[in-house]
Amino acid sequence: MVRPRLAPATTIDGFTLETVVHHGSMALLWSVTHPDHPGPLLMKLPRLFEGEDPATIVSFEMEQMILPRLSGPHVPRCIAIGDFTRQPYIVMERVPGASLYGRLEALPRPIEEVVETGIAVATALDAVHRQHVVHLDLKPSNVILRPDGVAVLVDFGLSRHDQLPDLMEEEFRLPYGTAPYMAPEQVMRIRDEPASDLFALGAMLAFFTTGVRPFGDPQRLANLRRRLWRDPVPPRALRPDCPPWLQEVILRCLEVEPRSRYASAAQLAFALRHPEQVPLTARAAKLRRDGWAAVLRRRFNPAWQPQLRRPSLAGALAAAPIIAVAIDLTDQPPALAEALRATVGHVLATVPGARLACLNVLRQNRIAPDQSLDPEGHNKHLQRLAELRHWAAPLGLAEARVTFHVLEAVSPADALLDYLRQNPVDHVVLGARTGSLRRKLLGSVSGEVAEKAPCTVTVVRPGQRGVPAEPPPPRHPA
């Protein structure tokens, strides 16, 4: 069948083309309407002209397979798919908002904006990774911010779904991606590594912070490969007001070795939300690139190669959860405190890549003014932080694996639930003390958290290890 002429007012399977809104290198985006689908809508049509790159068709096939399998606020909703035997197309919602590409006109960006952008994009990556997809072409033009600040990832033509055939890997021998943001393993044609997206996000954050692409914009494979042994200029060397903690985060994302980056997008988002808890290493203090001696050692050492492949995307995420533990520092019985610590220790021992967040709620008065100092003149908030560190010390965790948070609120249950909703926590552990008349009448904190938490909950009782409560629906589709 002859394909219809692509012009305004053309109808394809009931969708009427209006105007071209974007000319991409591999596809055109048209605004379209349909009587059965409320708008606004976009139709993506591959470029099928003479002389086009064969990867255009293959990447479009990949997106047709992947996009309908994705859901949630961080991806455009897929409406319809067109058959290649007639006219291939993808119809999706037209996401309200603007892409990050427009921000490149005024670089560098304010530090606060860079951090908020990083949180939004890392949260979107976490949602997509949990649905078995590595994006592999993260760049400013492929991120749209909704009016409420939620990031939406678009253009999944180069993506990898770990439960589908990878046509791009099967049919081509060259790496595909956008040069300034490609991870070293992508240059080596490794396409199943979720940390590749974290590298791309680190490159974006460095660009937004300094106005300089950390690896330039190389157009040849030989120049792309330099990022395997040449480190980027530290952001603080280009922008002195960049906080050391932010440089620490960016340079960790840009590590050559994927396992030296954050274990998951969720852990990266967590670090950006809690800068005061980011452990500072030598990365934070760097003001110049590595010397040529170090570069040459990496370049010509045949034994130096990044350790890449992980068993699966699902396995990588399962190995890097965020665990939270709620600790009552006021009147928790010693037996319960010990049972709580034993349970947390058991969970962490079984998942070595897990990160622990220790939580305590400093209860506030509903009516009377609160005092920040205790009767001895000590700051209550700082005192609680010190007590949390003392509680966690027997677990023997490295600084990078544990953070401490004192939440000030009238309602402990509400404070804990707000924290769990705002942070990508996978599992929360909390104690249940012995019953009392007040708890029977008003309900317990552990009971309310177990009922409403957006993650798995384990409730621990004195003298025993906790048993997971009935888990709610998962935070992200799987």
Neighbours of 230 (CB within 10 A): 16
- Average pLDDT along the chain: 87
Structure tokens of 431?
Answer: 């104690």
More confident residue, 409 or 367: 409
Assign domain 321-366+378-468 to a CATH class: alpha beta
* Digit-coded pLDDT (tens) for 6-16: 899 999 999 99
Tell me the pLDDT tens digit for each residue of 38-56.
Answer: 989 999 999 876 555 677 8
Phi and psi (nearest 5°) for 242? -70, 125
CA distance 26 to 46: 6
User: Crossing angle for the helix pair 195-210 and 111-129, nearest 10 degrees?
Assistant: 170
Task: Note the pLDDT of residue 85.
Answer: 78
pLDDT: which is higher, 437 or 276? 276
Q: What is the pTM of this model?
A: 0.86
- Average the pLDDT over 458-471 and give the result: 64
Q: Note the pLDDT of residue 31.
A: 97
Angle subtended at Cα 119 by Cα 346 and Cα 475, rounded to the nearest 5 degrees: 50
The residues that bridge with 324 in the sheet, in sequence order, are 357, 428
Query: Which of 252-266, 341-355, 426-440 ranks highest by mean pLDDT?
Result: 252-266
DSSP-derived 3-state class of residue 208: helix
SS3 at position 16: strand
The model's confidence at residue 475, banded by pLDDT at 50, 70 and 90, is low
Q: Which CATH superfamily is domain 11-93 in?
A: Phosphorylase Kinase; domain 1 (3.30.200.20)
What separation in angstroms does the CA of 43 have from each of 32, 37, 67, 93, 97? 6, 13, 13, 9, 17
Could you tell me which CATH number the domain at 98-302 has?
1.10.510.10
pLDDT confidence of residue 344: 94
Strand 98-99 and strand 89-93: pairing?
Answer: unpaired
Domain ranges in the chain? 11-93, 98-302, 321-366+378-468
What per-residue confidence (pLDDT) applies to 300?
Answer: 84
Residue with the larger pLDDT of the pair 113 and 320: 113
Percent of the chain residues topping a pLDDT of 90 = 61
Q: How far apart are CA 214 and CA 251, in angstroms?
A: 10
- The closest alpha carbon to 114, from 223, 224, 32, 235, belongs to 235
Of 160, 172, 182, nearest in space to 227 by CA: 182
131 torsion bin: left (phi>0), alpha (psi -120 to 50), beta (else): alpha
Q: Which residue has the higher pLDDT, 439 or 66?
A: 66
Model pLDDT, residue 335: 86
- CA distances for 478 relative to 72, 102, 266, 420, 428, angstroms: 11, 32, 15, 19, 19
pLDDT digits (tens, 9 = 90+) for 338-387: 899 999 999 898 888 899 999 999 888 766 566 667 677 778 888 888 99
How far is 198 from 200, CA to CA, in rounded Å?
5
- Say if CB 61 and CB 164 are below 8 A apart: no
